[in-house]
A and B are shown apart, each in its own frame.
Chain A
Amino acid sequence: MKTILLCLLLIYCPLLLLSKTIVVDSNGQIRSLKRAIELASAGDTVLVKSGTYKEGNLIIEKSITIIGENFPILDGEHKHEIFTIHANDINISGLEFRDTGTSSMNDLAAIKVLDSKRVTIIGNKFSNSFFGIYFANSSNCRIENNQLKASALAEYEIGNGIHLWKCEQITIDNNRIEGHRDGIYFEFVTNSFIKNNHSERNLRYGLHFMFSHNDEYTNNSFINNGAGVAVMYTKNVKMYGNTFQQNWGAAAYGLLLKDIRDSEVIGNHFIKNTIGIYQEGVSRTVFENNNFYENGYAIRLQASCDDNTFKRNNFSSNTFDLATNGTMVLNTIDGNYWDKYQGYDMNKDGIGDIPFRPVNLYAMIVERIPSAVLLWRSFLVLLMDRAEKVIPVATPENLKDNAPSMKPYDRSKKS
């Protein structure tokens, strides 16, 4: 073992000695980042001192590391794309990108990565970029600790924060994205991780996710985005411990699932959304240990969904817990906590003895006639709901929780 290590050291030491550091300083020898990149050869480091650099579009086609000191500003002057990367093993960190050009023909980005491998983009700031970080046809890359902020007013004025197209094995960790069109955009991206990100006040979706199989996203928060989060046409996606909050509007969802199969939605929080989860064509997916709190509709389950399992979820203070548009029941919803449950538990095993029907008659009326929401919580509606609970006529009779929990599931304890 020791000999192997020694050999490795002997092999790589000359490489380390060969690589040099080029310093770019607005008062120094090399004043232009462009010049520095020309001078650098593979394996070199370019150190950028603080200052403002207006150098138009920089094309990087060799494996170098670019590090900024005290966030030097790269200004795109509202005209240019700033970095275009087309090589493997490139690291970029500590830079601030500002004011890229906007275009409806080209996707101009602060950093665009094309056909590359092992690129890392860590700890940069982006303000008012059209597209922030744009990856196409790349793999094994990492995007970490970046802050992206834009302030556009309309969707056509701005691109996505982190945009990935046809990539694999990408890690997106601990970024903060505000005010873009889609916070994070995934199309044909496989085997990737999205974790600990914060996506807020984006104009369209906090996360937009299509044809991206075998991905996992955990511990992200998506707050107050135009239309929440959309996950579509995908299989094997895992969503763990995310927070979906305050996505308000007629077409806004905490989480929109369309044509998803064999996926897992576990341990997420849905708070104060107009619709917590909207599902259409979802199959064989598990919804477990989620919290739904103060949503308009906690779940809207279209009749096109089948074989899904809902268990150990907490539903509290939602206006409507579950709404559906058909009478066929192909999903199981046994073993959840519903705060509207009024049954009893004679044998004290913590499970209610009579089933709970979460679909509310009035929810179905409001689904057909939205104006009727005005009468919600009136005495009349209360009476109608009571009558419907006793003898279900309009609501699907078999859509019921056969083992409702008497108490909310405690998330602080592992079980």
Chain B
Amino acid sequence: MARIIKYIFYDILRTRFILLYTLFLLIATIALFQLDSDVGKVIMSLMNIVLMVIPLVSIVFTTIHFYNSYEFIELMLAQPVNRKVIFLSEYISTALSLCIAYLIGVGLPIILYGVTPSSLTLIYTGLMLTLVFVSLAFLASVLTRDKAKAIGVTLLFWFYFSLIYDGLLLWVIYSFSDYPLEKLTVALVALNPIDLARIMMLLKLDISALMGYTGAFYQNFFGSYWGMLFSTGVLSLWIIFPLFLGTRIFIKKDL
């Protein structure tokens, strides 16, 4: 398995896209730190990048990579290697390369410019989101044979999680505002990894605003030890479940 991972990893590095992505993150992060001396505000701007760009790049890059290495996968399948091993190797090497790119691009400048609790949370949520969206991309890729269609599906995923879902959530909150919604909203938020990551950041950045009555409920829930465990657990589910489903389909699939 390690050898397959190594080959795929080299293959990804050869495409140069990952290098460009690293460079983009690095330049953007350093530029933000140069523009503003207030670390809190830089983290806030970086949060927007993490919540928008990271999922988008992760999901699109992974899908394209998967289809580009289709021939390689077919070749590997001709060998006496388990399908699951191939699929997981693909996942691990893609996720690993994107995570390293993120760590170098965002993590390194943050460590250089000073570590705060909010910046650590940012690094953590960024990594989790990368893993979640690589997972989702693999699921989308095995669902269809057509590359264009798969990219369409992944873009829909991204669009759904970063925009449509929030719109629906806001609509629910608006229409049922007469009822106590706290618990329901917590449950609904768990259904969207980007929202979960955002709330983890909110607890670090907008703590004062969250101290109002309703906010205090969220603060008590998500801010506590169990809340952190809950967020991490749900995010892990978001990584494992699509990957598991993807593996199941891949094993049975007629390639």
Residues from 238 to 277 in A contacting B, C-beta threshold 8 Å? 248-250, 252, 272-274
For B182, give its contact among A273, A316, A371 (CB under 8 Å). Answer: A371
Q: Is B225 an interface residue (CB 8 A)?
A: no
A274 contacts across to B, CB distance below 8 A:
208-209, 211-212
- Nearest CB of chain A from residue B165's CB, rounded to whole Å: 9
Binds A, one of B122-130, B136-144, B194-202: B194-202
A362 CA to B252 CA, complexed, in Å = 48
Of all chain A residues, the one with the shortest Cβ separation from B212 is: A250
In the complex where A250-B212, A296-B211 touch, is A374 in contact with B185 (Cβ < 8 A)?
yes
B40 contacts across to A, CB distance below 8 A:
294, 317
Tell me whether B214 and A370 are in contact (CB under 8 A).
Answer: yes
Residues from 364 to 381 in A contacting B, C-beta threshold 8 Å? 368-381
B198 contacts across to A, CB distance below 8 A:
377-378
A370 CA to B219 CA, complexed, in Å = 13
Q: Is A319 an interface residue (CB 8 A)?
A: yes
Instruction: Count how many pairs of residues, one from A and one from B, have CB atoms less than 8 Å apart in the complex.
Output: 102
Tell me whether A377 and B206 are in contact (CB under 8 A).
Answer: yes
A278 CA to B38 CA, complexed, in Å = 26
Of all chain A residues, the one with the shortest Cβ separation from B164 is: A380
For B173, give its contact among A252, A297, A339, A372 (CB under 8 Å). Answer: A372
- Nearest CB of chain B from residue A223's CB, rounded to whole Å: 14
Tell me whether A250 and B213 are in contact (CB under 8 A).
Answer: yes
Of all chain B residues, the one with the shortest Cβ separation from A273 is: B208
For A378, give its contact among B181, B195, B206, B207 (CB under 8 Å). Answer: B195
Residues from 288 to 328 in A contacting B, C-beta threshold 8 Å? 294-297, 316-317, 319-320
Tell me whether B202 and A296 are in contact (CB under 8 A).
Answer: no
A379 contacts across to B, CB distance below 8 A:
51-52, 162-163, 166
A56 CA to B206 CA, complexed, in Å = 51
B182 contacts across to A, CB distance below 8 A:
371
Tell me whether B170 and A295 are in contact (CB under 8 A).
Answer: no
For B202, give its contact among A369, A376, A383 (CB under 8 Å). Answer: A376
For B170, give its contact among A319, A320, A375 (CB under 8 Å). Answer: A375
For B206, give its contact among A249, A296, A369, A383 (CB under 8 Å). Answer: A296
A213 CA to B40 CA, complexed, in Å = 40
Most chain B beta-carbon contacts within 10 A, residue among A273, A295, A339, A379: A379
Tell me whether B209 and A373 are in contact (CB under 8 A).
Answer: yes
Tell me whether A371 and B177 are in contact (CB under 8 A).
Answer: yes
A339 contacts across to B, CB distance below 8 A:
41
Q: Is B151 an interface residue (CB 8 A)?
A: no
Count the A residues whose beta carbon is within 8 Å of the partner chain — how many? 32
A294 contacts across to B, CB distance below 8 A:
40, 208
A371 CA to B185 CA, complexed, in Å = 8
Q: Is B133 an interface residue (CB 8 A)?
A: no
- C-beta contact mask, B209-243 vs A, less than 8 Å → 1, else 0? 11111111010000000000000000000000000
- Nearest CB of chain A from residue B112's CB, rounded to whole Å: 22
- Nearest CB of chain B from residue A12's CB, rounded to whole Å: 58
In the complex where A317-B38, A339-B41, A369-B174 touch, is A374 in contact with B208 (Cβ < 8 A)?
no
Tell me whether A375 and B163 are in contact (CB under 8 A).
Answer: no
A294 CA to B208 CA, complexed, in Å = 7
Tell me whether A380 and B209 are in contact (CB under 8 A).
Answer: no
Q: Is B47 an interface residue (CB 8 A)?
A: yes
A295 contacts across to B, CB distance below 8 A:
208-209
Of all chain B residues, the one with the shortest Cβ separation from A294 is: B208
A372 CA to B51 CA, complexed, in Å = 19
In the complex where A369-B177, A373-B215 touch, is A378 in contact with B209 (Cβ < 8 A)?
no
B181 contacts across to A, CB distance below 8 A:
371
Tell me whether A375 and B52 are in contact (CB under 8 A).
Answer: no
Q: Is B152 an interface residue (CB 8 A)?
A: no
B214 contacts across to A, CB distance below 8 A:
370-371, 373
Most chain A beta-carbon contacts within 10 A, residue among B162, B163, B166, B194: B166
Q: Please provide the 5 A-B residue pairs with the shortest distance between their CB atoms, ordered closest to farther.
A: A296-B209, A250-B213, A370-B214, A319-B209, A296-B208
Can you sample 7 A-B contacts with CB below 8 Å? A250-B211, A274-B209, A296-B211, A317-B38, A374-B199, A375-B169, A375-B195
